[in-house]
Amino acid sequence: IPSESALDLSACAREPIRTPGAIQPYGMLLVLDPASLVVIERAISQPAVLEAHGDPLGQPVEAVLGGALASCRAALAELAPDTTRFLGAHAIAGGCTHQVLGHRVGDTLMVELEQSVPGEPGSLEDLYPQIRQFMGAIERLGTTTELCQLAAELICELTGFDRTLVYQFDKEWNGAVVGEHRNNELLPSYMDLRFPESDIPAQARALYRQNRVRLIADNSYQPVPLLRSAERAEGAPTDLSPVMLRSVSPVHLQYMRNMGTGASMSVSLLREGELWGLISCHNQQPMRVPYHVRTACEFIGQILSLQISLKERALGVEQRIARRAIQVRLLAQMAGDTDFMSALGRDAKSLLALTQSSGAAIVHRGACLLHGECPSQAQVMALVQWLAVQPHEGDLFQTDSLSGRWKEAAAFSGVASGVLAISISQVHDSFVIWFRPEVVRTVRWGGDPRKDTGGPLSPRTSFESWKETVQQQSLPWDAVDQDAALELRTAIVDIVLRKAEEMAALNE
């Protein structure tokens, strides 16, 4: 483990999490030659199992572990590339009953044996009543937050974890806790916590898109090394991507210790193939989660993902309808007026609501009107001069971090980190410009600082470093905001043009 003070964040992204060369100790892993099904690598933690059956290295799969896997041979031989298959529960002499999984990653064939948890459900069917109840309830809920909350509650109930969180990623892969349920007060609330991209580095996110559930049963475990037959000693390390028992990054284990969590499990939430977020469960004490319960959690994750997609799509439609209504109000103001500047200003509330902004400036023929929270007139006029010479695609300019493009804007990033601008006329430098404040000002995280022991690897520190990474940034302008701005531009240009034509006709 690197010393925490010397921690190099870029090193996180290089942690070889798919090929750790070891497993967590509550089971065994055998790597097989795909042609002969002979064991070429093995990780076994229990000396009693090795004593009872000898070392499986070099043995054909049907002969290992007292022949316990003989019945799995055909299924393993047929396993399609990049698939995992549940091969049932098998009693192993010297050990206990194990849940057996076959995995094939490219050319690599693996058998994973996970120790059964006493009293664990015998099948997914046993858990179906709770899943069905969730599917019924989820349809009646209004918002994504409510969905996340309910899913967190059900997962806490199914697994017994002390706390379950739902994280959502933003477009830079920073995260926010958007749902939480706690079975007790053993772990603090993290609702609304933000954390930077580096807390769940890119290679971990890529793996989590592929493999939807992972469990760290005990953060102080002793890794069990994967030993190889002599002829394989030089080969590339084996890819353990789908292996449940995969050993975990030591940096992340330290993070968990600093957070005061003994066990964690996370379930991926995907939307259109991309990682939308994670359901993340924590327990103060070490904890196992049986295979079928994990499968149920994976299923709940998938239902939640689908519902979130549907809700977001429906919300997009609702927002467009609402913006259209605002648009109509603004157009009505402009229709009865010869001057669009004063017309828009008469309904400043709608002008701001049109793009969900907190300030707007209208600049036309050297005059400048400000509404809501804006930089000063002088700053807006300097911005206009800068905007006028920016290469912009079409007639719209937008950024959620103005000072990143124009240094002078740092002076007013508090009120205007985000800028959305439409150009009305290039001849006269006419613009309507909307502003959004720095996002840090809009976020508060309660949390409980006393419960975090601190060090660079802890949620409290993460929240502080998240604040640094989003300094001088606003919430992003989405497609609905940008389309609303462009539609207003079309309407204004129509009016301005029509007036110019009318004037020209009068002068003839």
Write out the residues near ligand BLA by the rule CB under 6 A: 7, 9, 12, 15, 17, 190, 193, 195, 198-201, 204, 214, 216, 248-249, 251-252, 255, 259, 264-266, 278, 280, 457, 459, 462
Shortest approach of ligand BLA to residue 285 CB, angstroms? Answer: 15
As a whole number of angstroms, the distance between CA 68 and CA 287 comes to 27
Per the listing, tokens 């603090």 go with 188
Which residues have a Cβ under 8 Å from the Cβ of 374 and sit 6 or more positions away? 359, 360, 361, 380, 415, 416, 435
Min separation Cβ 186 and ligand BLA, Å: 14
Residue 500 CB partners (closer than 8 Å, separation 6+): none
Residue 445 identity (one-letter amino acid): W
Least distance to ligand BLA from the beta carbon of 287, Å?
12
**CB-nearer residue toward ligand BLA: 208 or 412:** 208
> Could you tell me if 397 and 384 are in contact, meaning their C-beta atoms sit under 8 angstroms apart?
no
Q: Which is nearer to ligand BLA, 396 or 443 (CB)?
A: 443
User: Tokens in use for 422?
Assistant: 């439409």
Q: Is 276 within 8 Å of 56 (Cβ atoms)?
A: no
State the minimum distance, in angstroms, from the CB of residue 15 to ligand BLA: 4
Rounded least distance, CB 4 to ligand BLA, Å: 9
CA-wise closest residue to 310 among 164, 181, 191, 141: 141
If you ran DSSP here, which 8-state letter would residue 191 be given?
Answer: T
CA dihedral 373, 374, 376, 381 (to 10 degrees): -160
- Secondary structure element (H or E) that encloses residue 282, with its range: strand 274-283
CB of 204 to ligand BLA, least distance (A): 4
Nearer to ligand BLA, 278 or 480 (CB): 278
Query: Among residues 214 and 311, whose Cβ is nearest to ligand BLA?
Result: 214
CB of 9 or CB of 52, closer to ligand BLA: 9
Nearer to ligand BLA, 255 or 434 (CB): 255
Minimum distance between the CB of residue 183 and ligand BLA, rounded to whole angstroms?
Answer: 16
CB of 474 to ligand BLA, least distance (A): 23
Q: How far is the CB of 292 from ligand BLA (least distance, A)?
A: 19
- CA angle 295/300/301 to nearest 5° reads 95
- Two tokens at 305? 């993902």
Residue nearest ligand BLA by beta-carbon distance: 12
Nearer Cβ to ligand BLA (266/398): 266
- Tokens representing residue 492 in the block: 């204004």
The nearer residue to ligand BLA, 253 or 361, going by C-beta atoms, is: 253
The residue to which tokens 């499986």 are assigned: 56
CA distance 302 to 298: 6
Question: First and final CA of the chain: distance in angstroms?
Answer: 83
Q: Which amino acid is at 62?
A: E
CA distance 27 to 489: 64
Measured from the CB atom, the residue of 199 and 400 that comes closer to ligand BLA is 199
Angle at 214 between CA 209 and CA 217, to 5 degrees: 165
Q: Side chain identity at 142, as an amino acid letter?
A: G
Nearer to ligand BLA, 252 or 489 (CB): 252
CB of 155 to ligand BLA, least distance (A): 13
Query: Rounded CA gap, 314 and 291, in Å?
Result: 35
From the CB of 452, what's the least distance to ligand BLA, in Å?
A: 10
Nearer to ligand BLA, 115 or 198 (CB): 198
Q: Work out how close the CB of 283 gets to ligand BLA at its nearest, in angstroms, rounded to a whole number.
A: 11
Following DSSP, what letter does each residue of 114-167 receive, concatenated?
A: EEPPTT--SSGGGGHHHHHHHHHHHHT--SHHHHHHHHHHHHHHHH--SEEEEE
d(CA 50, CA 463) in angstroms, rounded, equals 47
> Residue with structure tokens 């508060």?
444
Angle between helices 291-335 and 479-507 (to 10 degrees): 10
Q: Please choose, from the candidates 207, 191, 215, 213, the residue with its C-alpha nearest in 3D space to the C-alpha of residue 263.
A: 215
Closer residue to ligand BLA, CB minimum distance, 21 or 66: 21
